[in-house]
Each structure stands twice: as C-alpha cells, then as structure tokens.
Amino acid sequence: MNNNYLQKWRSTRSLMRSVLVRIMLAAALVVGGLTALAYTFIYNETQSRMLDNHGDWIVERAHNDSLIFELAQENLARFSQEFLRLYTSDVVVDEETFWSYYQRGHDGAVRLRREFYDGLYADDGLYYSGVTSFIGNNQPVDDPELRRRLVLSLRLLAQLGPAMVNRFENVHVTYPENAIALYAPGTPWGLEAEPDLPMNELGVIRAMQQSENPERLPGWSGLYFDATAQEWALTYQVPLDLDGRHLINPSHDISLTDLMERLVSDTPEGAYNLIFRPDGYLIAHPAEPASDRRWVGQMSLETIDDTELTGLYHRINDATGGRPGERTLLHYPEMDAWLAVSELTGPQWWFISVYPDALLRQAAHQAATAVLVSGLILMALLIGIIVYIIQRDAAIPLAQLSRAAESVADGDYDAVAEGRISLPRGLRNEVGLLARTFHGMTINIRDAQSTLEKVVAERTEALESANKSLRELSLLDGLLGIHNRRAFDRDLKSVFEQSSRGVGEFYLMMVDVDEFKLFNDTYGHARGDEVLKQIAASIAGSIRRDDRVYRYGGEELAVIFNPLGSEPPAQAAKRVLAGVAQLAIPFPESAHGRVTISAGLARGHTGCVNADELVTEADRHLYAAKRAGRNRLISELV
C-alpha cells in the first residue's frame, strides 16, 4: 500500500512539472498575442478618444463664442417687439413734441438736442443720456409718421439702451429714410456726423432696404477693424416691417476683439484655430496670411495664396454641403491633420480647429506602450506566483485527494467520512476547499437518504397550502373584500349547471349604486371607494348564510340567492335594499338625498338557455328599476 502511494505521489509531481512547463509556454504565446492586440486596441482607442474630446471641445468653444451673437439676436428681437407695441398703440407725437427733441442746425441737418446726450429728464418722464440722433440735410422731416417713428425709437433707446450695451458697443436704429438714432455713451456720433452723409445709401444700411432684401432677413456685416476704437467688430441689424411697410432697422455693433484673441491663445496644445465665412472669406487665422489683422475678414479664396488653406475650405464645404452643424470631424490628408468644425450661431461662421495627426499618433503610441510594458511585468509576476503556489500547495494535496477518490470509487464512504483517509482540509485555497467539500459530500451522501423523503413531503405540503391561498386570493376583490367577477362567473356557471340538471333553482340579483358617477365627480373617487366598501359590507351582512355577494364591475354588484332556507329570496333581496338605506350616506345631489341602490332580481330555472341569458334578464329588471326612479327592486316576483 505504501509503495503504491509513493508511486502515485511521484507520478503527481511529474504531472505538476509537465503542467508548469505547459503553463509557461501557453503564457508566452498568450502574452505575445495579447500584447499585439492590446497595443493595437489601445492605440486606436486613444486616437478615437482624443478626437472625440477634441470634438467636444470645439462644440463647447463654439457655444461660448456664440453667446454674444445669440444675445444680440435676443436684444434686437425684444427691441423690435417693444417698438411694434408702441407703434401700434395710440401714443401721439405731434410736431411740437418732435421739435422738443430735435433742432435744425445751420448746416441744414436735423439733430437730437445736445442735452439728450449729456443727461436729461425729459417731459416724457424718461432719463436720457448717451443718446444722439441725426437726420441728413437731404431728408425732409415734415412727414408726421416719420417724426413719430423717430421719437418712439428715442424713447425705446432711453429705456432699453442702458441694459443692452453691457456686452455691446452701442444700440442704434436706422430708417429707410436718411436718419439714424443711437445709444452710444462716450461717442456723440449723431452730433458730429457730416450734414450731407447719405446713410441709407451706405452698403450695410442699404442691405436692409426692401429692394435689396426682399426676404426681410436679418443681416450680419463682414468683420471690420475699427481704427478709432482699435477693435474688431461686426454689425447685426434686423429689418422691421409692418403690413409691408419698412419701419426701422434696430442694430448692434458687436466687438469681437476678445474672440480674435482667444482664437490664438485658447487652443489645444499643438493645434491651431481659424474661422471661415460660409462663402469662403477667411475671417481669422493665427499665422500668415492673417498677420496683418486689418485685412482679416476681407480675404476671399481668390486672394488667399495658400493651397492647403483653400483646400481645407473646399474639404469642409464638400463634406458637409456648406453646413457643418454643431460638430463635424474630418480628416484632411493634404495637411496630415484632423479638422474639428462647429458653426457659430448668428453669422454662421465656421469655427475650425486643426489637430495634426502626428500629435494623435504620438499620444496614442505613448499610452499603448505604457500599457504594454505594464502588462508584460504583470504577466511575469503572475506566472512566478502561479509556479510557487502550485509547487507548494498542489502536488502532495492532490495525491491525498487521489487516494480518497479511489476509496469513494470503491464504495468505502466511511473511510473518508470518518477521517481514516487523510485529506488536506486545513489548506486555505481551492485544494483545501475541494478537500473539505469532498469530505462533506461523503457525509451528505450517507445522511441524505434518510432525510430526503421527509424534505420532499414537507415541501409538497407547503406548496399545496400556498397554491390554495393563491386560489382564494385570486377570487377576492382587492378593494371591497368580497368575491370578484372571476368568482361570480365560476359560481354562476356551477349553480346554472345544477339547475339545468334539475337539482334545484336559484335567484340572481344585479345591484347598481344610483348616480355613482355624480357622487364620484362631487366627492372624489376616494370617498366613492369608501361608500362602495360600506355598501358591500351592508349587503354581505344582509344576505343569508348560503347566499353570496360579488363585485360584478365598477359600482355594480351581484348576489346569487340559494333557494335553501325558509325565507324567500325576494324577501332577502328587499332586506338588502333596506340595509343600504339604513346606512343613510348623505348625497344631497341625488333625488333621494342619500346614497341608494337599484336592483333587478331574476330566477334561474331549467327554461334558461344559458347563464348569460339570466344575467341579461336581471340587468333588464335593474334598468327598469332605474327608469322607475331608482332606489327600488324590480322582479317578476315583486
């Protein structure tokens, strides 16, 4: 026996050596394959994640840079709305009122009085400051309607201007006539304009004329450099018409110097930004040809001497149909770069960020290499640990388990269960768990036979009890606690079949709460549910021991009267109505002043074709009771 055990132990050690060699060979193959897969996956995933992050950045950046344009649109929409409200009101501006605002100068031009710029509480109750207005000397002012538009515009500028210029240079109103009104603190433009300046013939203002803009669309001017203010700006204006008549053009001059500065300074490392107009004009670029900032915004594709830059525009235009939307990611092989594009709300400019492929490849390679090295180190460590544990905790314990398995195979369960064969149950690993489980298994097999039949019997009894409880619950109404429609259909079928075989007769009463919908509408469904519970309890207490009440549906109940007993069913049915009446539930809206029920009673007998016919007959009596004034029982017996 000892020689056989020694031989098996040596065989087990030889087996473990073979297993270890195979594990190391397999690990080397797996590591090599996983290394290649991991490197490729992480490389691609890192590139994809960086591009996705760059796309999110361009969306957020475009959103933030669009806020100034959206605010301009909101301001002018409100100004237009308020102007129309004033214009269509009964506010009167007579000639005397007009000249209390304006005066004609020696040069023939009509200008707003100086004190409206310096600061003045006017007769209209408004405070004016920073407001100027100018009417060219070639524009007559004898039209009352024009004078009214001018004064209403001035009043609106005084009211809304101070709040609207917190982010803007000014608010101004131009007209189809040669006139302008401005709120521009610090710039008395209307007081200094040349008297013969033809403003309504200038390009920006002329673009709002009905002949130039028949679609009546808001207009965004091109980007320009204000040499006086040393700022980049553009003008946004909205034509306002009423019944086909051109009234005014409210507008903002929007400073974009901060946006131009952020174009260069706020950009991901290694990337750069630029802006194109949808029609191909270069708005801004951080390097040549845009170093002369005065000319940025006026460079069309024909004047840009850079094939990569013009190709970039065509790549975006061709791929998006000229509408890149909120976010577009494109690869541009000619520049070996990715393009992230987002539209700026308002002028619909294309905000473009150019991200070189080299940066993506470098970052992806670094991430993949770091993961690869970490994986190799971890794999080597794991193999070392596995070898150590197998050598220490597997060889001898497996030989013991082998001997115990042979004993069990021979049918000697007691040798293992009683501990005559040693098992490594003290090990705190899988082998120890296996040994403890193996030992417990032999004990369980020995003891299981005696307890199996008892367990099966107990569980069978518990299951039958649970099924019985479920069957009972399925036949009760959850709200009223009486039997439900399912129980009614079952019991009605049963008594009907007995009656058809001549065993006996029975009676069916259909009950309905009078004007219950009105009650619910008046007092609420919660109160209605309480009333139904009271009525159901009253009927259950009024019927005989062998009778049964059901909830047929909604506020309709049913009672099956068994013919047994000395009291006639009709008498029991009347007692049901009397019991409900004794509840005296107030219902002033009812003709009876309290909650009542109506009922129809029908007799089940061998002449009935089916149970549904009996229900129909009882319903017919019930509806007759309703028509007869409610609060009554109708039957051929009554």
Which residues lie closer than 8 Å to 71 by C-beta, 6 or more apart? 167
Report the candidate in 392, 367, 277, 363 with the shortest Cα–Cα distance to residue 324.
277
Taking the CB of residue 180, how many other CB atoms lie within 10 A of it? 25
Residues facing 220 on adjacent strands: 236
- Per-residue burial over 264-280, b if 16 or more Cβ lie within 10 Å, else e, is eeebbeebbbbbbbbeb
Q: Tell me the C-alpha distance between 314 and 336, whole Å.
A: 16
DSSP annotation of 229: T
Taking the CB of residue 310, how many other CB atoms lie within 10 A of it? 16
- Contact criterion met (CB below 8 Å) for 603 and 507: yes
- Contact criterion met (CB below 8 Å) for 543 and 482: no
User: Helix, strand, or coil here: 547?
Assistant: coil
**Count of helix runs (H) and strand runs (E) in the chain:** 17, 22
Q: Tell me the C-alpha distance between 173 and 237, whole Å.
A: 9
Cβ-in-10-Å burial (0-12, 13-18, 19+) of 119 comes to exposed
Q: How far is CA 467 from the centre of its chain?
A: 44
Estimate the share of the chain in helix, then strand, then coil, as percent rounded to the nearest 5: 55, 20, 30
Q: Tell me the C-alpha distance between 208 and 633, whole Å.
A: 83
Report the candidate in 88, 76, 462 with the shortest Cα–Cα distance to residue 235.
76
- Contact criterion met (CB below 8 Å) for 180 and 172: yes
- Pick the catalytic residue: 82, 555, 589, 613? 555
What sign has the CA pseudo-torsion 517, 518, 524, 526? negative
Active site residue 96: no
User: Helix, strand, or coil here: 259?
Assistant: helix
Catalytically active residues are 555
